[in-house]
Amino acid sequence: MALVTFKQLLAVAQNENKAIGAFSVGNMEMIMGAVQAAEEMNTPIILQIAEKRLKNSPLELMAPMMVSAAKNSKVDIAVHLDHGLTIECVKNALDFGFTSVMLDASLLPYEDNVNATKDVVAMAQNYGASVEAELGVVGGNEGDTAEHIIACTDPVVAKDFCERTGIDALAVAIGNAHGNYPVLPSLRFDILEEIQAIVKTPLVLHGGTGITDPMFRSAISLGIRKINIATASFDSLAKYAKEYCNNAEPADYFKLSSAMIEGTAKNIKRHIEIFNNQV
């Protein structure tokens, strides 16, 4: 199969009433675990990394691995820059062969978000790449910044934003938050329904970690076509690595590497099953 854009994957998801999992990766083992899970489930995925994670996992090292893993996979895979914060980083990702990018200008005043997003759409077109943007404020944080207070996406503004920018996917804020939720989230499906009724652009749900299976199903039934999972994969990798090290005397690097791949794959397979509407 092939390295594809997420626009292609989201169109298929739309027809089949499912969502594509967008899985954050931070090292080679996470990439291998994600691809292994996708191949075992015979399901396309999106491999992604956020700009804030690049200090731990530099783009110049991660990008060639991510793109190569996608090209050599038995399933279709899109490679995506999640939460791009600077136009320089967006351009670097495109130069490395990422097939989609997100510029997160959601904290800027509305007109500035529109203009910055339009610039990214124009740039991405030169590379044949897709673009995601965000409206409203998703809670939690990405990396070590301050927590954001949730502000739900306004459906009417979302329609205007998608029409004026020409983006390929819109990340919505409906009570979702990045990271582990302190209490079970209560997602505003009423707002999602209103957005879906007037916005034709495929919708994205960030902050997938900790969202329950029934909530995922409801979100998919209301037009969510891309679901981001990061923390749950990092936690699963760390758990498997810790268990291995606690039980192995002496610990062996190669077995530790396998444990990290397995920990990532386990979490991703669980999510793919739900996103495919299989369980």
Distance CA 230, CA 177 (A): 12
Backbone angles phi, psi at 22, to 5 degrees: -110, 110
Instruction: Indicate whether 78 belongs to the interface with ligand 13P (CB under 6 A).
Output: no
Taking CB under 6 A as the criterion, the residue among 178, 225, 269, 271 binding ligand 13P is 178
Q: Name the token pair of 92.
A: 């670097």
Taking CB under 6 A as the criterion, the residue among 73, 113, 196, 209 binding ligand 13P is 209
Residue 196 vs 228, nearer CB to ligand 13P: 228
Taking CB under 6 A as the criterion, the residue among 29, 76, 82, 168 binding ligand 13P is 82
Instruction: Indicate whether 84 belongs to the interface with ligand 13P (CB under 6 A).
Output: no
Instruction: Say whether 190 is catalytic.
Output: no
Taking CB under 6 A as the criterion, the residue among 36, 118, 157, 179 binding ligand 13P is 179
Name the active-site residue from 76, 82, 104, 168. Answer: 82
Indicate the residue type of 186.
S
- Min separation Cβ 172 and ligand 13P, Å: 12
Q: How many CB atoms lie within 10 A of CB 209?
A: 23
Site stretch for ligand 13P (CB under 6 A), options 90-98, 151-159, 160-168, 206-214: 206-214
Residue 63 vs 244, nearer CB to ligand 13P: 63
Answer left, alpha or beta for residue 179, where phi above 0 means left and psi between -120 and 50 means alpha: left
- Sign of the alpha-carbon torsion through 240, 241, 242, 245: positive
Site stretch for ligand 13P (CB under 6 A), options 33-41, 153-161, 225-233, 249-257: 225-233
> Which residues lie across from 169 on neighbouring strands?
132
Taking CB under 6 A as the criterion, the residue among 232, 260, 268, 272 binding ligand 13P is 232
Q: Name the token pair of 141.
A: 């944080």
Q: How many CB atoms lie within 10 A of CB 118?
A: 16
- Provide the strand spans (E) within 116-267: 130-135, 169-172, 203-205, 224-229
- Min separation Cβ 43 and ligand 13P, Å: 18
Write out the binding residues for ligand 13P, residues 4-33 only, by CB under 6 A. Answer: 24
CA dihedral 153, 159, 163, 165 (to 10 degrees): -10
Q: Name the token pair of 109.
A: 């005043």
Write out the binding residues for ligand 13P, residues 155-174 only, by CB under 6 A. Answer: none
Report DSSP state, residue 145: S
Q: Are strands 169-172 and 45-50 parallel, antiparallel or unpaired?
A: unpaired
- Provide the strand spans (E) within 57-96: 77-84
Distance CA 273, CA 21 (A): 10
Instruction: Indicate whether 231 belongs to the interface with ligand 13P (CB under 6 A).
Output: yes
Residue 98 vs 244, nearer CB to ligand 13P: 98
Write out the binding residues for ligand 13P, residues 91-150 only, by CB under 6 A. Answer: none
- Min separation Cβ 195 and ligand 13P, Å: 17
Taking CB under 6 A as the criterion, the residue among 5, 43, 153, 228 binding ligand 13P is 228
Binding site for ligand 13P (CB under 6 A): 24, 50, 82-83, 178-179, 206-209, 228-232
Enzyme catalytic residues: 82
